[in-house]
Amino acid sequence: MKHDTGKKVLVCCGTGCLANGSLDILTGLRQRVQDTACGAVRVEALIKATGCNGFCEKGPIVKILPDDVSYYRVQSTDLDEIFASSIQKNEVVERLLHLDAATGQRIRSQHDNPFYKKQTKLALRNIGEIDPTDVEDYRERGGYQALGKALQEMSSEQILEEVCVSGLRGRGGAGFPTAQKWRQCASYAASPKYVVCNGDEGDPGAFMDRSIMEGDPHTIIEGMLICARAINAAAGFIYIRDEYGLAVKNFAHALQSARKQGFLGKNILNSGFDFDIEIVRGGGAFVCGESTALMASIEGNVGEPRAKYVRSVEKGLWGQPTVLNNVETWASIPPIIQHGGQWFHSIGTATSPGTKVFSLVGKVRNTGLVEVPMGITLRELIFDIGGGVIGNREFKAVQSGGPSGGCIPASLLDLKVDFDTLTAAGSMMGSGGMIVMDQRTCMVDVARYYVNFLAEESCGKCVPCREGLRNLLNILTAICQGKGCADDLDLMAEICAAMAEGALCGLGKSAPNPVASTLKYFRDEYLAHIVDHYCPAGICKELTDFVINPDLCTGCRRCVKHCPADAISGNPKEVHSIDPAHCIKCGNCIDNCRFQAVQTMKGGSSQ
């Protein structure tokens, strides 16, 4: 006997869920379906692996259709129950549903989950809904219809006009109008022309491009095809960061199936148009995310940027006219062509239309990928969607824009996020990383962290960037060690100004942002380090001692258990104490104490 359940089970196999064991969930469910094949009742259900659902904090995520039930933090031990209740029958396993912290209610559908409610999925529209290795899944959701329209119903000029009307600005960070780039490139007669996708996502704390490449590769292919048609390009390249193994694999697979279906190659959809795309794996250099460095790298050179007296749209890859856009930009193209530029323009703000994907990470409760209309406030993003700060600690700042972005303080939480407002606040949109910081984040250490990152990644070609970063790093390191002096702050401000003015490429020009923005908003914290030799967050080891406040300590032994150095002693229900001689200052105690009994003091003062 056969029992066709009609169920489609989507198991999230994004990187976050995979790390939490979603592969076992996928194979476990498939096995259970298969096991019924020889039994009395053969159960039929479709078990699919999808890309990242975004709510990585609560992975692995399993979604059951058509019931529209989403389960979170699914373990192998839950599978029998899911199979029996929700696949063979239409019952719900209550305990695996999302628990809304605000109402205490269990939530059945993803659409009612507060994490998803305020989101508008456009670039991420298919991710989590389709199997990225199945082109039919993509087509079922309208995939390649925009290409058909562009090839059969639209002229080059009409495509350019549609993108122009949409007002789409490049999602890679700088927000350059996409249509302007395409139009310029189209205006040159030189041949061949190239289309490039920048998938060298290097910003720490940002993983939206990875998610799209892994979870919906065909949308990128389709976007590139439409551009290629509009500017009459012959070939395309996608430069994918080498660390992104799954992205390379899924993209390669997508290219193959697109070729098989006639979407790539010669005479695409019988239109006489030829185009194909090649993957280039990155070499692990952050600067290669810069467009001219990326092109140098594709050509087989060291990935150094060049001065842009002549723009890549005129002379780019191998000296030919080239359009380079970021992954998220490409993913936005098919819906614009399909639904019209006007539709896209109606979303978001007047100067930054559309949606933006942010990766919400750091000290935020709901870590994950979210896509929201431009113009959303930081407060909505961090508190309504992100669920606020972990452990109910106080929000201190949010860092946006990657290493060369800036830190935005709590006083600006009602800022409406778009390209222009973030820049005005001393930060930038960048690729869309949003790193939430709390009282336990030292802003001097954060500045030092970014400068260190950039100093390592600076290609060293121009002096302002190379020497500026090196000197900023020296000063910041000294401050973190309690060796700063009063003049340091002015000196750093001067270096920052010189770099912004004189560096060769975007990396160097924006590199002082983390220092400049923390100097602007968190000067007190710098002064605490320099004048008082004290790190208020308890992060800079030389400037910190951890002590237990006897009035607050309940003697619960939680800190004792969490101390990796066995530096805390104390009997149950008696006040504990930290031995400064053994303390490695990892902060595990302060992070785990539920009574705020562990406190920071000026380094050396507890001895």
Partner 1 sequence: MNIDEPIPVTQEILSKYPREQRYTLTILQDLQREHRYIPREALPLVAAHVSLPLAKLYSMATFYKSFSLSPRGKNLIKVCDGTACHIRSSLILVDEIQRLLDIAPGETTPDRQYSLETVNCLGSCAIAPVMVINDTYYSKVTPAGLRNILSDERSAINET
Which residue from 200, 199, 220 is spatially nearest to 123, judged by alpha carbons?
Answer: 220
Give the contact letters, 287-316, x = binds to partner 1 (CB under 8 A), - = no. Answer: ----------xxxxxxx-------------
* CB closer to partner 1, 377 vs 452: 452
Pick the closest to residue 194 from 239, 255, 235, 159 (CA basis).
235
Give the pairing of strands 568-569 and 544-548.
unpaired
Q: With respect to partner 1, which residue has the nearer C-beta, 151 or 539?
A: 539
Phi, psi dihedral angles at 86 (to 5 degrees): -100, -15
Residues 256 and 62: their CA atoms lie apart, in Å, by: 28
Backbone phi, psi, residue 552, to 5°: -100, -20
Residue 50 contacts partner 1 per CB under 8 A: no
Query: Is 206 a residue that touches partner 1 (CB under 8 A)?
Result: yes
Segment interacting with partner 1, rule: CB under 8 A, options 92-100, 122-130, 277-285, 371-379:
277-285
Strands 355-362 and 433-438: parallel
Distance of closest approach, residue 147 Cβ to partner 1, in angstroms: 27
Nearer to partner 1, 186 or 568 (CB): 568
User: Which one, 20 or 113, has the nearer CB to partner 1?
Assistant: 20
In the complex, the smallest distance separating the C-beta of residue 326 from partner 1, rounded to whole angstroms, is 15
> Cβ(98)–Cβ(113) under 8 Å?
yes
Cβ closer to partner 1: 229 or 281? 281
Amino acid present at 579:
D
Q: Which is nearer to partner 1, 119 or 588 (CB)?
A: 588
Q: Of residues 50, 88, 355, 399, which one binds partner 1 by CB under 8 A?
A: 399
Is the distance from CB of 151 to CB of 273 less than 8 angstroms?
Answer: yes
User: 479: closest CA among 444, 514, 436?
Assistant: 444
Please list, residue by residue across 51-72, b when 16 or more beta carbons sit within 10 angstroms of its beta carbon and e when fewer do.
bbbbbbbbbbbbbbeebebbbb
Q: Are 296 and 302 in contact (CB under 8 A)?
A: yes
Is residue 19 a contact point for partner 1 (CB under 8 A)?
yes
Contact 375, 418 (CB under 8 A): yes
From 18-26, 27-35, 333-341, 550-558, span contacting partner 1 (CB under 8 A): 18-26
Among 9, 56, 154, 583, binds partner 1 (CB under 8 A): 56
User: Does 203 sit near partner 1 (CB under 8 A)?
Assistant: yes
Binding mask 352-391 vs partner 1 (x if CB under 8 A, - otherwise)? -------x-xxx---xx-----------------------
Find the binder of partner 1 among 114, 177, 204, 570 (CB under 8 A): 204
Place of tokens 């939480």: 413
Instruction: Pick the stretch among 88-96, 121-129, 239-247, 520-528 that binds partner 1 (CB under 8 A).
Output: 239-247
Residues 448-467 as x/- pattern, contact with partner 1 by CB under 8 A: -xx--x-----x--------
Q: What residue has token string 């409760």? A: 365
DSSP string, 560-587: HHH-TT--EE--TTS--EE-TTT-----
Q: Distance between CA atoms of 248 and 241, rounded to whole angstroms?
A: 8
- By CB under 8 A, residue 548 contacts partner 1: no
Nearer to partner 1, 179 or 428 (CB): 428
Binding residue for partner 1, selected from 12, 16, 336, 356, defined by CB under 8 A: 16
433: contact with partner 1 by CB under 8 A? yes
- Minimum distance from CB of 563 to partner 1 (Å)? 7
Cβ-based neighbour number of residue 561 at 10 Å: 11
Residues 361 and 381: their CA atoms lie apart, in Å, by 11
Angle, alpha carbons 250-433-312 (nearest 5°): 70
The mark string for 400-429 relative to partner 1 (x by CB under 8 A, - otherwise) is ---x--------------------------
What's the min distance (Å) between Cβ of 318 and partner 1? Answer: 9
Which CA distances in Å does 41 have to 28, 46, 94? 19, 16, 26
Residues lying near partner 1 in the complex (CB under 8 A) are found at 15-16, 18-20, 56-57, 59, 201-207, 210-211, 242-244, 280-281, 283-286, 297-303, 359, 361-363, 367-368, 399, 403, 433, 435, 437, 441, 446, 449-450, 453, 459, 561-565, 584, 586-588
